[in-house]
Structure 1
C-alpha cells in the first residue's frame, strides 16, 4: 500500500514538476511517508522512475489486448485499426504517465543499454511486433496490400502513432474524434488492396 502511494505520488509530482525538480524529501512529504520509507521500497529515485515506466508498459499491453478481445476484429486491417485506436485512447486516458515518457525519459537515459531506455524500447517493440503480425496476417488473408514491406510499414505506423500522441501531449495539435477518424481512414486507405 505505501509502495503504491509512493508510486502514484511520484507519477503526479514528476508530471507536474519534472523528475529533476522533485526531491525525495518532497515526494515523502506529499506521499505521507518518511523519506527512509521510500528507500525501503525503492533503491533510488531512478528506480521509482523505471518502475513507473514499466507500469505504463504493462498497462498499455493489457489495455490493448483487452480492447482487441472486446472488439474482436474480423480482418487484419481491422486489427491494425484497433491497435491504433486502443493506443490513442490509452495515451489520452493516461496523459500524466505519458508525460514521464515524453518529457523526462529522454533526459533520464544516456546509454542504449540503460534500463529506462530499454523499457521504453519495449513499448515501441511491442507495438511494432503487434502491428507487423497484423500486417503479415492481412497480406495472407487479402485485407492488406501485398505490395508493401510489412516491417517498414509497421515501423512507419508505430512512429506515426508515437509522433501523433507526442504532438497532442505537447499541445501542438488538439485531440479529437475527427483527428483519430482521419488517421484511421488514411491508414486504412493506404493499407487496403488496390482495386
Structure 2
C-alpha cells in the first residue's frame, strides 16, 4: 500500500470515528507513520483530504450500484427494489467506515460552506434515490408496483433503508434482525392490493 493510500485509509477511519473537526493531522501522521509533511505533500489541508475521501466514496458507491443493477436480472420493479435494498445493506457493511463518515453531522456542516462537499453528498444520495425511483417506475409499468408518486415512494424506501443502516452503523441495532420486516414493509407500501 502506498503512503497516499495509507493516509486515505487512516483519515477515513479517524474522520468516521472522531469526525472531521476533531481529527487532527498529527493523529493521521501517527497512525500511518507518515510525516505531516508527507500528508501535506499529497493534500494541502485537512479539508482537501476529507473532500478527496468523500469524492472517492461517491465514485465507489455509484459505480458499485450501477454495476450491480447492470449485471443482475430482476423479475420486475418490485424485485429490483427488494434486491437494491439488500445490496444497499451489504454495501453499508463492506464500506462501514465510509457510511459512518456519511452519517456524521460534520459532512453536512462542511457542505453548508463548501459547494464541492455539498455536490458530493447530493450525488451520493441522488444516485441511490434514482436507483429506487427507476425500479418504482419499472414496477408501475410491469404492474408489480401500484400507481403512486415514484419520487416520493423512492424517498420513503431510501429513508427506511438508510435509517436502518444508521442504527447498525452506530451499533444501536443489527440491520440483519430487521431485514425481513423492512422488505415486508416495502412490499406493503408498493405492491398493488
TM-score (norm 2): 0.89
The aligned residue for residue 193 of structure 1 is 192
In the alignment, structure 1 residue 180 sits paired with structure 2 residue 182: no
What do residues 53-83 of structure 1 show as CA deviations (whole Å, max 9, x unaligned)?
Answer: 1222222223223433454212111111111
Q: Distance in 2 between matches of 1:9 and 1:31?
A: 7
State the secondary structure of the residue aligned to 1:145. Answer: coil
In the alignment, structure 1 residue 51 sits paired with structure 2 residue 49: no
The aligned residue for residue 61 of structure 1 is 62
In the alignment, structure 1 residue 12 sits paired with structure 2 residue 18: no
* Aligned residues of 1:63 and 1:86 also touching (Cα < 8 A): no
Task: Show structure 1 runs of 5+ residues with no match.
Answer: none
Q: How many residues align?
A: 191
What do residues 75-121 of structure 1 show as CA deviations (whole Å, max 9, x unaligned)?
Answer: 1111111111111111122222222111231333324x622222111
State the secondary structure of the residue aligned to 2:74. Answer: coil
Q: Write out aligned runs for 1:42-191 (5 A).
A: 42-69=43-70, 71-103=72-104, 104-111=106-113, 114-146=115-147, 148-176=148-176, 178-191=177-190
Task: Show structure 2 runs of 5+ residues with no match.
Answer: none
Q: Distance in 2 between matches of 1:133 and 1:70?
A: 16
* Aligned residues of 1:167 and 1:173 also touching (Cα < 8 A): yes
Q: Distance in 1 between matches of 2:190 and 2:86?
A: 16
Q: Distance in 2 between matches of 1:168 and 1:106?
A: 20
Pairwise CA RMSD: 1.9
In the alignment, structure 1 residue 25 sits paired with structure 2 residue 43: no
TM-score (norm 1): 0.88
* Aligned residues of 2:167 and 2:175 also touching (Cα < 8 A): no
Q: Distance in 1 between matches of 2:53 and 2:189?
A: 36
State the secondary structure of the residue aligned to 1:109. Answer: helix
